[in-house]
Chains A and B, each alone.
Chain A
Amino acid sequence: MTLAADSALLHEADPVSLRNPDSAPPHETLNERKRRFEQMVLPHFDAAYNLARWLTRNDQDARDVAQEAVLRAYRFFEGLRGEAKPWLLTIVRNSCFTWLAANRPAETVGFEDGAIELLPSDDDGPEMQAARNFDRKMLNDAIAGLPAQFREVLILRELEDMSYKDIARIADVPIGTVMSRLARARRLLAESVRAASNISGTQVPK
């Protein structure tokens, strides 16, 4: 469905307009530029690494991709408008998908949004049950098992506290797609944890 709900989203309206005191001063020296980058962007290095780690699912690759993405961000520092965190995560995200396309092409294809049925129907109730009893490892495995497009929105939303608007910007999709991917991600996750519980014999309590 196309989301009529889009119009109900808060972010259709511009957020409080903000001064941007961070635009590059004229005649900035290289050292000043570096210092400004360290103050504005590097505080979000953990977020960059976390996203890269969840998308590559591997420490070594996450290190390479995160490092490369931050150095790239430094080259394009002049392009920063507004908040640094979503801007940096956009670059990290793109680096990750470029890396995935080159190294694990199978992971970035085959999950079109078109086929997604957005609405959780009433009967998926039990699947969603008892999330508080989820086993930590099982949950982490289930998130790692999500298709990258869904994993990405879930991580940005739940672990990085990004708004729908920022996620839309980072993943370069409309807000409606962010909503449907997030709904899909949560549902897949619930199904996957439930399936894992059944296999391992641990019953998800009803």
Chain B
Amino acid sequence: MTNDEANTLLHAYIDGELDPAKTLELEAHLAGNPSLRAACGRLREMSEAVRLKADYHAAPAWLEERVRAALPAEPKNGPARPAWWGWLNPAGSLAAYADWLRPAASFAAVALVTWVVALGVLRPGEDERITQEVLASHVRSTLANRFYDVASSDQHTVKPWLSARLAFSPPVADLSASGFQMIGGRLDYIGAQPVAVLVYKRRQHMIDVFVWPAEGQKAEQTQTRDGFNIERITNNGMTFWIVSDLNRDELDDLARMLAERSAAP
């Protein structure tokens, strides 16, 4: 790789947009080239300065309300009839269809009840499956010594890397001041969807934090399985599953900090 090429790639590199092969190549080049390393450092500083110091202009709340109010909706006197209404009721008389509708309605009611019951019964099953999947992912990564896809202690490298590959942007907190060193991130597939995994380290313990968007607020949940502690929290629309062989108290601290950090952007 020439210096010119390396210079060109620096921006993509600090933005976490370079593929692994080119990253390795560039890092090898950086190792042998102090001035390029310095340029890379200055570039990171520049990027950091903009992120930290440039004004973020949040919209005034009243403006959002005004826009919300301006979105066309139906008049207050009831929803417009959906398209199938005309087909179902061409003569405008519901009575002619009443006989036909009655069994259909009771069938629908039975189906609804079945669905609600099934939801209640299956819910714990889903949690159980996810528990197994996150635990398996954690153990697999430690067995294979493959902890991350992107290695970095910098949340500004890990977050964009993950965001670029997922349909959501996971909150990535720098907790090094509290003794949780971030070492990288990876992607995995949990509960039939691609998810972010943030990898932290405390002393010699590896901690995987699985993150994906959640619907609603679920109860916190802690358990111990096969010698691993597993915690689940949901906050601000995100679910976090934390898996580690770290002791429960310290893992609780981490869970609390993650919840705090994800609370306010």
Q: Which residues of A contact B (CB under 8 A)?
A: 1, 3-5, 8-11, 15-16, 18-19, 27, 29-31, 34, 37-38, 42, 45-46, 48-50, 53-54, 62-63, 66-67, 70-71, 74, 82-83, 118-122, 125, 128-132, 134, 136, 139-140, 143, 154-155, 157-159, 161, 163-166, 179, 182-183, 186, 189-190
Contact = CB atoms under 8 A, between A and B. Distances in A.
A38 B18 CA distance: 35
Nearest to B83: A27
Interface of B: 4-5, 7-9, 11-12, 15, 17-19, 21-22, 35, 38-39, 42-43, 45-51, 53-60, 63-64, 66-68, 70-74, 79-80, 82-84, 159-160, 163-167, 169, 187, 193-194
A119 B50 contact: no
A5 B71 contact: no
B46 A66 contact: no
Contact of B67 (A29, A70, A182, A190): A70
Contact of B53 (A46, A139, A165): A139
A15 B165 contact: yes
B190 to A, nearest CB: 13
20 contacts: A1-B8, A4-B5, A5-B12, A8-B12, A16-B165, A16-B166, A16-B187, A27-B83, A29-B79, A30-B80, A38-B71, A46-B59, A120-B7, A125-B38, A128-B43, A131-B48, A139-B50, A157-B15, A163-B164, A186-B11
A179 to B, nearest CB: 6
Contacts of A49: 57-59, 63
A38 to B, nearest CB: 7
Given A34-B71, A71-B67, A163-B160, A54 B15 contact: no
B58 A83 contact: no
Contacts of A139: 49-50, 53-54
A63 B17 CA distance: 33
Contacts of B194: 16, 18
Contacts of B58: 46, 49-50
B159 to A, nearest CB: 7
Nearest to A13: B19
Given A131-B46, A132-B45, 6 more contacts: A8-B9, A10-B165, A19-B193, A49-B58, A63-B60, A161-B169
